[in-house]
Copies of this chain bind each other. A is one copy, B any other.
Amino acid sequence: MTEPKAPPEPSAREQRRLQMADIARLAGVSVSTVSRALNGSELINAETRQRIAELARSLNYSINLGARNLRLQENKTVAVVVPYDRQSRQHISDPFFLSIVGSIADALTDRGYDMLLSRVDAEHLDLSAGWFDSGKAIGVVLIGQWRHHDQLNEMAARKLPLVVWGGEMPQQLYASVGGDNVLGGTLAARHLLQSGRRRIAFVGDARLPEVWLRRQGYAQALREAGLAVDPGLEVAAPFEPGLAAGVLERFCAARQDFDAVVCCSDVQALLTIQALRAAGRSVPGDVAVTGYDDMALAAYCDPPLTTVHQPVAEAGAELVEALLAQMRGERTGPRTLPVYLKLRASAPDGAR
């Protein structure tokens, strides 16, 4: 009457997954007793509890979490979504994104949550709501706002538990956590100015909120120094290494009238250095270059990168905390974490 599909055919290979009733039968008790024992209930005789626990362990039995969650109406899974650019079909290869994912994985593990990792087309960030709607996850952590601030606002309006790694934007309805992008841009540019550079290029796609904010910081530092932003020195390179390389090579081949570059990722910085050398210019001699992120390898590049350090280690915990707070019903606004400039050789201190 209700038999699903064919008879529960144990498929020869997998000998029907064990369940509580089996343990109960083997232990000569009822399933409730097993359930209570395995959940450490005080009601159960300590000795019985022990015996059942051992039996379960010896058979590698583990409570079916799907059934348990259904009954308990709870779920300890969080979806982490990394957008990708459908156009370029590029995989996420930027070490920064992957580090953030690692950091979130740690934070979730610490708090007893599981992490569902998925990709989503950067043009349809709202698709990530499916994880929540289908009950697979209790909330969504999205890495980056990309170009769809609007979709994120709509998701938040739906009361979807959502936290975004990214910059704080005007009229933002969703919770976000991110480094202080304006400050990062300012720190990089100001450092270059203080070390005597005057013609400072900016590398990054300002359609992305984070980059847009960094550019503001950069522009502000120039203003402080009484300099104007030269639009000709803005290079809209994307984060994907494969795409950025060409753009940067062309730029460095075409123009030589700058003595410093502020980049929006360490990868971009490395590509810029590469392009500069190909164009016959030295780093930091002719051109000083700053990166962004302070990825693990930044210290070991040649030259080691002066870069804006992002709080990756803290990021995971902050994102997870923001999500949990939201689910507790707390109102969580955007959160901006401090960043600092890590001085290394690609943009050294002092005059040249």
Contact = CB atoms under 8 A, between A and B. Distances in A.
Which of A66, A135, A270, A302 gathers most chain B CB within 10 Å? A66
B135 A66 contact: yes
A91 to B, nearest CB: 5
Contact of A92 (B71, B77, B102): B102
Contacts of A82: 105
A95 B95 contact: yes
Contacts of A172: none
A136 B102 contact: no
Which of A64, A103, A106, A297 gathers most chain B CB within 10 Å? A297
Contacts of A114: 116, 118, 136
A12 B328 CA distance: 10
Interface string A123-151: 00000011001111000000000000000
Contact of A66 (B4, B13, B136): B136
Contacts of A101: 98, 101, 117
Number of copies: 2
Interface stretch (A55-63, A184-192, A195-203): A55-63
- How many A residues are at the interface, by size bracket? 35 or more
A307 to B, nearest CB: 14
Nearest to A11: B329
B72 A70 contact: no
A35 interface: no
A1 interface: no
B98 A102 contact: yes
A15 interface: yes
Interface of A: 4-5, 8, 11-15, 17, 60-67, 69-73, 75, 77, 80, 82, 91-93, 95, 98-99, 101-103, 105-106, 109, 114-119, 129-130, 133-136, 158-159, 161, 241-242, 245, 267, 270-271, 273-274, 277, 295-297, 300-302, 313, 327, 329
24 contacts: A4-B72, A15-B159, A17-B135, A60-B133, A61-B133, A62-B133, A65-B134, A66-B66, A66-B69, A66-B136, A67-B70, A91-B99, A91-B106, A91-B313, A93-B99, A93-B296, A105-B117, A105-B118, A109-B118, A115-B117, A115-B118, A116-B117, A270-B297, A302-B302
Given A98-B98, A302-B302, 16 more contacts: A4-B72, A8-B73, A12-B329, A13-B159, A13-B329, A15-B159, A60-B129, A60-B133, A66-B135, A241-B300, A245-B300, A270-B297, A270-B301, A274-B302, A277-B302, A297-B297
